Amino acid sequence: MGRKPDSTKPHSGVGSASPKTARRAQPSPVFLGTALFVLGFVSLLTGHIVTDADWSRIRSRWRSNQVRNNEPIDIWKSRYSSFYYGCSRRSPRLRSAVPENASTGYLLIATSGGLNQQRIGITDAVIVAWILNATLVLPELDHRSFWKDDSEFSDIFDADWFISYLSKDVTVVKRIPYEVMTSMDKLPWTMRAPRKSMPEFYIDEVLPILMRRRALQLTKFDYRLSNELDEELQKLRCRVNFHALRFTNDIQTLGQKLVWKLRFMSSRYVAIHLRFEPDMLAFSGCYYGGGEQERKELAEIRKRWDTLPDLSAEDERNRGKCLLTPHEIGLMLRALGFGNDTYLYVASGEIYGGEETLKPLRELFPNFYTKEMLVGDDLKPFLSFSSRMAAIDFIVCDESDVFVTNNNGNMAKVLAGRRRYMGHKRTIRPNAKKLNALFQARNRMGWDVFSRKVKKIQRGLMGEPDDTRHGRDDFHEMPSSCICQRIPVNRSVTTQKENLAAQVR
């Protein structure tokens, strides 16, 4: 028995929206093996060439079952990632951008939240502008939220690239022309859309006001558009999020410098988005083992939110609603097979408990780095701007071989979706509910048993192409409309039979 490591989801131009198709239960391995054999055999007898679609569908089901149940998982890279790629090219069916002088008016957007919450708002703002045939004004970033960052759009994102890249889809301008503003009888109308509104809401409720007033502002714009959109609009979402929103040169340069330094020290590294700030812990209503002092401090912070209900820390943990501690993240990674020589990049804000909280993770992974540790004085111009700091972390996490998160926040969602789109780079999301029970019983089992159980618990949450999530998917995290599968071309019957036999064996 091994030893424990040291320390413990339209307007005209596209089809109507359709509900998500329920996932079917996976056929049994015996059935799939038999089906593959029969299909190949019948092909030989009848001269019928098995279509690529038939082959792909059966092979995919077979492989999915094998991955989930039998095959050991490569902790650094999915062996099936090369079969999938991001595909969001615009279709000729999608209506082109309406010229500024022919649009229904100017749509102003005031985003809300931190960098990635605002990123989601910006992405959806482009879709809403398309739905309304409107001219989009560069979105206004949130200066009043918890992060208190006064950065403008062009301080974080390349505005010229954003406007140019989207020119075929939506007309974007940096500001309402002066002559238009002076000719308006009234100031732009301001309103807030309900969360996850359908396109019909914008057509029925927003469009008439926009056409009457010529300019309209939507406020606190985050998650104000449904996940249930036509596929072509989902692809437009991907073009915005994964291509049009490019960071400024200075942010990109510093982010890549960090990546280069990590690659110089090691050929691969793991990035952890460690949300363990005091406000996050207080908001969760959970208890993290810090005694009465922790209970008092987090209770005091929790008073900032008037509408938060009283929660049972134990119930929240049993429901899997509590963040994993840095130590628990470390134990999970070691149990999955990452050795103590693995290089870690930790993206985080202020850690509750400081160095004392991080100590067990450092002991498990001595090659522990943050942006502050890697670039020193080069970081000074960014220190007063939380969104720019978050953008730097975003780049390093996105470039990592493995991305790990202990939360389901906006950065975690956007990065998980982007990494799927960019080739299913390994992304690990802890199964907090099941891991919690395992951590509680940690001292009653040997390391080999603990490791085996962690690996079993984490199956389906390791960034494989066939990973599933219970409940309704967030498109920003699971952009399925924008991911295509590579299908072999002109595969001969003989080759099919040979590969089929190999699969069955």
Domain extents in the chain: 10-246+488-505, 251-276+323-467
177, 107, 99, 112: which is closest to 137 by C-alpha? 107
Would you tell me how many other CB atoms lie within 10 Å of the CB of residue 210? 22
Q: Give me 501's structure tokens.
A: 């036999």
- The Cα–Cα gap between 406 and 357 comes to 15
For residues 32 and 67, the answer to whether their CB atoms sit within 8 Å is no
C-alpha 271, offset from chain centre: 14
- Alpha-carbon distance values, 455 to 46, 69, 76, 120, 435 (Å): 45, 11, 14, 32, 10
Beta strands in 306-392 (DSSP E): 344-347, 368-369
The answer to whether 14 and 232 are in contact (CB under 8 A) is yes
CB-neighbour burial class of residue 470 (10 A; exposed 0-12, middle 13-18, buried 19+): exposed
Q: How far apart are CA 430 and CA 364, in angstroms?
A: 18
What pLDDT score was predicted for residue 352?
Answer: 95
What is the bridge-based pairing of β-strands 426-428 and 368-369? unpaired
Q: What is the pTM of this model?
A: 0.83
User: What pLDDT shows up at residue 30?
Assistant: 52
Right CATH for 251-276+323-467 from 2.60.40, 3.40.50, 1.10.287, 3.30.2010: 3.40.50
pLDDT at 185: 84
Residue that has been written with the tokens 């790990």 in this structure: 404
The pLDDT assigned to 497 comes to 41
Report the pLDDT value the prediction gives residue 501, as an integer from 0 to 100: 41
Tell me the DSSP string of 276-315: --HHHHHHHT---S-HHHHHHHHHHHHTT-TTPPP--HHH
Angstrom distances, CA of residue 254 to CA of 247, 368, 375, 467: 11, 19, 8, 33
Q: Which residues of the chain have pLDDT under 50?
A: 1-3, 7-13, 15-27, 42-64, 66-67, 470, 490-505
Q: Are 328 and 286 in contact (CB under 8 A)?
A: no
Angle, alpha carbons 43-47-51 (nearest 5°): 55
Contact 436, 321 (CB under 8 A): no
Q: How far apart are CA 9 and CA 219, in angstroms?
A: 19
Q: For residue 117, give both structure tokens.
A: 């919450």
- What was the pLDDT predicted at 28? 53
Predicted pLDDT at 187 = 87
